[in-house]
Amino acid sequence: MLKPIPLRPDHDAALLRRIARGAADAVQVRRLLALAAIYDGGSRTQAAAVGGVTLQVVRDWVLRFNADGPDGLIDRKAPGKPSLLSDAPGRAGGNGRARPDPGSAWRGPLADHRSLPMDPGRIRDQHLEADAQP
């Protein structure tokens, strides 16, 4: 059987519990307490039970903790898939061609049949005049 990856020597169980008390992220607290169990001499299986995870996940936590300290146990935002669109608005796929307006076929005829132009200021003024009349 392989020897487990050791935890970094500059921390101990008491320090991890103290950090966990002040942490705002519940996920980080759970991970810190699981690693504190290892510092106390518990097995990785016991740490997995404290954290409610598998041994592989505890190993991943140890690697993240060794690399970045307690901050390494905070969930990071996944990078995700890069955008297919360029930064220029109105460009499709960054190929330089403008996207067609999908509503242009029906927007023009609807505007021709509208009885009054849409002017929110005019509508507001009409309501104020109606309220002012006795």
| Residues 69/84, Cβ–Cβ less than 8 Å | no
Answer whether 29's CB lies under 8 Å from 20's CB: yes
C-beta of residue 125 within 8 angstroms of C-beta of residue 132: no
Residue-wise pLDDT for 60-116, tens only, equals 999 999 999 999 999 888 888 887 776 655 544 455 566 666 666 666 666 666 655
The structure tokens listed for 52 are 């409610």
Residues 37 and 65 sit within 8 Å (Cβ to Cβ): no
Q: State residue 78's pLDDT score.
A: 82
pTM recorded for the entire structure: 0.58
CA quadruple 48, 46, 61, 52: dihedral positive or negative?
Answer: positive
Mean pLDDT of 37-61: 95
Q: How many CB atoms lie within 10 A of CB 128?
A: 9
Question: What torsion, rounded to 10 degrees, do the Cα atoms 22, 24, 29, 32 define?
Answer: -60
Mean pLDDT for all residues in the chain: 81
Average pLDDT, integer, range 34-42: 95
98-108 per-position pLDDT tens digit: 666 666 666 66
Q: How far apart are CA 64 and CA 52, in angstroms?
A: 18
Q: Specify whether the CB–CB gap between 98 and 50 falls below 8 A.
A: no
Q: What's CA 68's distance to the chain center, in Å? A: 20
